[in-house]
Amino acid sequence: MRFLVLPCDGIGPEITRATMEVLEAANQRFGLGITSDYEDVGFPSLEKYGTTLRDEVIDKARTYDGIVLGPQSHMDYPARDKGGVNVSGGFRVRLDLYANVRPARTRPYLPGKKMDLVIMREATEGFYPDRNMYKGLGEFMPTEDVALSVRKLTSKACERIAREAFKLAMRRGKKVTAVHKANNFIITDGFFLDWVRKVHQDFPEVELNDVIIDAMAAHLDLASELSGSLGLAGSINANAETGLVCAQAQHGSAPDIENQNIANPSSLILSVAMMLTWLGEQRGLPAMVEAGSAIEHAVDAVLENPANRTRDLGGQVNTGAFGALVAAEVAGTALAQDVPAGYPADYAATVEAAKSQGKVVIYTSTDIAQAQALLDAFTAKYGIAVEYNDLGTNGAYNRAISEAAASQMGADIVWSSAMDLQMTLAADGYACNALGCQLSGGQQQRVAICRALVYQPRVLLLDEPLSNLDAKLREEARYWIRKLILDLEICAILVTHDQTEALAAADHILLLQNGRIVQDGTPHDIYSNPRSFYAADFLGANNIARGRVLRAEGANVTIGGEGWELPGQVRDGARLAPDTQAQAVIRVEQIHVTDQPGPDRLEMVLDDSLYLGDRWEYRVRRGDLQIKAHGARELPPGRVYAQIAADKVWVFPAENAA
Ligand code: NAD
């Protein structure tokens, strides 16, 4: 099945994007096999090709199964001879899409008088001047003060639109109302009414009324306005004989809100849903019909929650986020049906319960990265959408948090309450639609963090969040995790065995040994003032010198072993008597090795210089003292001199050794 997508003008591209996301969700869930191609019409086409509608596009459209057409800024088009062709009219006439089908119903969750009707409008004739003539326009001025308009009605058009209306009524409430003005347009509207009555004879089960247009206008007061919002009504233009169909929103191009990402895409989404249903019924494809109604239900399910509404309905959710929510809802229902056997019992039970309510509301606090079962079954986006839906509350995200988090995730800035979805999108363009098991480790971590953030926690516990990432990614990840936490202004407790991660990510470190806090302080404090051998040895790259205390004077001690001695300092008020066993920690970066002798330099033997790329590592020894140091250049093996400041030789009693 192939669709031709024509985003057109104004808010067209924005609402088309959101709509196509929903269509793709349905496509995947119901296995519709729909592929889409795009073409320019409207202003983008005028700019490129000098006309708002090219013949090639119409010809191409004929070869497609369905057309998705965005709204046009017709009123701003130049004259016909300057390329301004009515796109919508062009499609309707040249593809003979005579039936414009416009459902209008109130939603129980939105204010409005109860109403559920479908307006079936003839779209190729009547007073439309740009489409009711074979040649020329049905509107003209014989003199400068006389303007005329020709109205055209043919038997064929009257009969087929009436037939479509009765056929539709048979599937609904079996009521048709012919709206007319036959009291004044005795010949034309009278002709139309005659045809309606004639067709009615083929549908005796359907009740037929006729109402004069003035009365009907008063009854309906713009049907789609009543149904909550202009943005909430779908429409298709179809020809039941040729099978050609075009989904088109009921509203216009809304230039006043163009490019602001605030339009409500529901109308086009619902139009596409109608098109799927129509195609499914025409061609006997139940999956298409099911997909159409799934989308319609998804729109309702999303809109029911005031937190999910777009601005025209009093909410704050933007166009893209709304599309993502509906898409997730469409995909979500599928998961209920597709959950494989063998998942944990509570999980299966939750799914069953959700299924019976017609949607999935699976709650899990399980980290997606650690729950293999979830990983296999869920798309990342759905996983997060579920968390979000479970909140059931408005504004789980406020704008500041959303923006900060989204930008940390590298997302387009969004500020809707559906921000978690957007963050996932950020996790990597494709990741949102990938199954959990298809995500890389880094993506899984981001998804997991998004899911936790959905709850807007004041404290976030990160238990070795980066342990399964490769080294490079870990470096990046620890940076964005820190930035995210700072930007969100929340407190996070990060548990890690990776000392560099701890130093890089934390403001404050609690160092634990055997379940007890042995030191706490800033990373700098912990690194440069360790209070125990354990603390000193745990962080950094170290040399350990084990020996005997030779001399002691308060904190200043000299330790020594076979053929060497080193002045150092006893840490943390410990007392070391001469002749006791001691061990010293010396950070690798605190040892300076040179081939030049000097005062306070210990003569040693260099066994080897190892090339590490950005520096050299020296392996030096003296007696039973073996140490590592770094330097910028290669030194030949042999005699070298090591300079080590006494206050960097941290001496501890030997029994403290871990
Ligand atoms: P409109 O439907 O574009 O806008 C009317 C009002 O409704 C505006 O305030 C707009 O911001 C709002 N609105 C419309 N769609 C919305 C949505 N999806 N979400 C939120 N708010 C929405 O009608 P208009 O202003 O009379 O016409 C603007 C242009 O659209 C004109 O050039 C007109 O010719 C064209 N138009 C095109 C179609 C079509 O392509 N089928 C139909 C009607 C009007």
Distance 338 CA to ligand 1 centre (A): 40
Mutate to test the pocket of ligand 1, among 53, 230, 272 (most ligand atoms within 8 A of CB): 230
pLDDT value of residue 499: 86
Q: Which of 137-151, 329-343, 360-374, 433-447 has the lowest mean pLDDT?
A: 360-374
Q: Whose CA is nearest to atom 5 of ligand 1?
A: 254
Give the CA distances from residue 486 to residues 238, 398, 460, 483, 491, in Å, rounded to whole numbers and listed in that order. 55, 16, 12, 5, 8
Burial status of residue 568 (CB atoms within 10 A of its CB: 0-12, 13-18, 19 or more): buried
71 close to 12: Cβ distance less than 8 angstroms: yes
Task: Label residue 112 by pLDDT band (50, 70, 90).
Answer: low
Distance 257 CA to ligand 1 centre (A): 9
Q: Tell me what the mean pLDDT of segment 119-135 comes to.
A: 86
Atom of ligand 1 nearest to the CA of 256: 11
Angle, alpha carbons 136-142-143 (nearest 5°): 140
Q: Whose CA is nearest to atom 26 of ligand 1?
A: 252
pLDDT value of residue 327: 84
At 413, the amino acid letter reads I
Distance 228 CA to ligand 1 centre (A): 15
Distance 419 CA to ligand 1 centre (A): 27
Q: Tell me what the mean pLDDT of segment 388-408 comes to.
A: 38
- Which span out of 231-240, 418-427, 458-467 was modeled with the highest average pLDDT? 231-240
- Identify the residue with better confidence: 12 or 409: 12
CA dist., res. 437 & res. 523, Å (int) = 36
For ligand 1, whether the C-beta of 257 sits within 6 Å is yes
pLDDT value of residue 309: 85
Task: Label residue 380 by pLDDT band (50, 70, 90).
Answer: very low
Q: Whose CA is nearest to atom 10 of ligand 1?
A: 254
Q: Whose CA is nearest to atom 30 of ligand 1?
A: 252
Q: Tell me what the mean pLDDT of segment 369-392 comes to.
A: 41
For residue 301, pLDDT beyond 70: yes
For residue 344, pLDDT beyond 70: no
Q: Tell me what the mean pLDDT of segment 130-137 comes to.
A: 82
Paired tokens of 487: 């930007």
CA dist., res. 658 & res. 656, Å (int) = 6
pLDDT value of residue 655: 67
- Which span out of 221-235, 293-307, 328-342 was modeled with the highest average pLDDT? 293-307
Give the CA distances from residue 109 to residues 152, 268, 605, in Å, rounded to whole numbers and listed in that order. 42, 20, 84
Burial 270-286 (b: 16+ CB within 10 A, else e): bbbbbbbbbbbbeeebe
Q: Tell me what the mean pLDDT of segment 105-113 comes to.
A: 76
Mutate to test the pocket of ligand 1, among 92, 250, 251 (most ligand atoms within 8 A of CB): 251
Mutate to test the pocket of ligand 1, among 19, 253, 319 (most ligand atoms within 8 A of CB): 253
Which phi and psi angles does 130 have, rounded to 5°? -85, 5
Give the CA distances from residue 165 to residues 117, 124, 175, 204, 539, in Å, rounded to whole numbers and listed in that order. 11, 16, 9, 13, 79
For ligand 1, whether the C-beta of 254 sits within 6 Å is yes
Task: Label residue 525 by pLDDT band (50, 70, 90).
Answer: very high
For ligand 1, whether the C-beta of 264 sits within 6 Å is yes
Q: Whose CA is nearest to atom 37 of ligand 1?
A: 252
Distance 33 CA to ligand 1 centre (A): 32
CA dist., res. 591 & res. 643, Å (int) = 6
CA dist., res. 436 & res. 438, Å (int) = 5
pLDDT value of residue 438: 53
pLDDT value of residue 332: 64
Atom of ligand 1 nearest to the CA of 87: 40
- In the numeric block, the tokens 């306005």 are attached to 225
- In the numeric block, the tokens 């003296």 are attached to 622
For ligand 1, whether the C-beta of 266 sits within 6 Å is no
Question: Smallest Cα–Cα separation from 181: which of 216, 147, 157?
Answer: 216
Q: Whose CA is nearest to atom 38 of ligand 1?
A: 252
CA dist., res. 336 & res. 354, Å (int) = 7
For residue 396, pLDDT beyond 60: no
Question: Smallest Cα–Cα separation from 336: which of 324, 322, 352?
Answer: 352
315 close to 308: Cβ distance less than 8 angstroms: yes
Angle, alpha carbons 643-649-651 (nearest 5°): 155
Distance 316 CA to ligand 1 centre (A): 20
pLDDT value of residue 231: 56
Atom of ligand 1 nearest to the CA of 75: 32
Paired tokens of 471: 């080294």
Q: Whose CA is nearest to atom 32 of ligand 1?
A: 73
466 close to 478: Cβ distance less than 8 angstroms: yes
For residue 206, pLDDT beyond 60: yes
Atom of ligand 1 nearest to the CA of 254: 3
pLDDT value of residue 436: 47
pLDDT value of residue 637: 93
Give the CA distances from residue 98 to residues 153, 261, 658, in Å, rounded to whole numbers and listed in that order. 12, 32, 86
Q: Tell me what the mean pLDDT of segment 51-62 comes to.
A: 96
247 close to 66: Cβ distance less than 8 angstroms: yes
The number of helices, as runs of H, and strands, as runs of E, in the chain is 21, 25
Distance 640 CA to ligand 1 centre (A): 83
Distance 101 CA to ligand 1 centre (A): 18
Q: Tell me what the mean pLDDT of segment 419-431 comes to.
A: 37
Task: Label residue 40 by pLDDT band (50, 70, 90).
Answer: very high
State the average pLDDT for the chain: 80
- Identify the residue with better confidence: 419 or 168: 168
Q: Tell me what the mean pLDDT of segment 589-607 comes to.
A: 92
Strands (E), 226-359: 236-239, 244-248
Atom of ligand 1 nearest to the CA of 69: 40
Question: Smallest Cα–Cα separation from 446: which of 471, 476, 418, 417?
Answer: 476
Q: Tell me what the mean pLDDT of segment 335-346 comes to.
A: 38
CA dist., res. 209 & res. 195, Å (int) = 14
Atom of ligand 1 nearest to the CA of 255: 28
Q: At what angle do helices 441-453 and 419-427 cross, to 10 degrees?
A: 170
Q: At what angle do helices 441-453 and 399-408 cross, to 10 degrees?
A: 170
For ligand 1, whether the C-beta of 51 sits within 6 Å is no
pLDDT value of residue 338: 36
CA dist., res. 21 & res. 606, Å (int) = 65
Q: What is the DSSP letter of 211?
A: E
CA dist., res. 138 & res. 145, Å (int) = 17
For ligand 1, whether the C-beta of 71 sits within 6 Å is yes
pLDDT value of residue 265: 95
For ligand 1, whether the C-beta of 258 sits within 6 Å is no
Q: Tell me what the mean pLDDT of segment 245-254 comes to.
A: 93
For ligand 1, whether the C-beta of 52 sits within 6 Å is no
Atom of ligand 1 nearest to the CA of 311: 20
Which phi and psi angles does 68 have, rounded to 5°? -110, 115
pLDDT value of residue 424: 37
Give the CA distances from residue 327 to residues 24, 319, 320, 647, in Å, rounded to whole numbers and listed in that order. 8, 12, 10, 63
Atom of ligand 1 nearest to the CA of 312: 20
For residue 418, pLDDT beyond 70: no
Question: Smallest Cα–Cα separation from 13: which of 345, 325, 257?
Answer: 257
- 0.85 surpassed by pTM: no
pLDDT value of residue 97: 94
Q: What is the radius of gyration, based on Cα positions, of the chain?
A: 37
Distance 253 CA to ligand 1 centre (A): 4
For ligand 1, whether the C-beta of 76 sits within 6 Å is yes
For ligand 1, whether the C-beta of 7 sits within 6 Å is no
Q: Whose CA is nearest to atom 6 of ligand 1?
A: 254
At 85, the amino acid letter reads V
Give the residue ranges of DSSP H helices in 428-519: 441-453, 471-488, 499-505
Atom of ligand 1 nearest to the CA of 251: 2
For ligand 1, whether the C-beta of 88 sits within 6 Å is yes
Per-residue pLDDT tens over the stretch 451-503: 677 666 677 788 888 877 777 778 887 887 888 788 777 788 888 888 888 89
Task: Label residue 222 by pLDDT band (50, 70, 90).
Answer: low
CA dist., res. 88 & res. 6, Å (int) = 11
pLDDT value of residue 55: 95
**Chain length of the chain:** 658
pLDDT value of residue 402: 39
Per-residue pLDDT tens over the stretch 502-513: 898 899 999 988
For ligand 1, whether the C-beta of 231 sits within 6 Å is yes
Task: For the chain, give the percent of residues with pLDDT over 90.
Answer: 48
Q: What is the DSSP letter of 539?
A: S
308 close to 418: Cβ distance less than 8 angstroms: yes
pLDDT value of residue 594: 93
Q: Tell me what the mean pLDDT of segment 299-313 comes to.
A: 85
Q: Whose CA is nearest to atom 9 of ligand 1?
A: 254
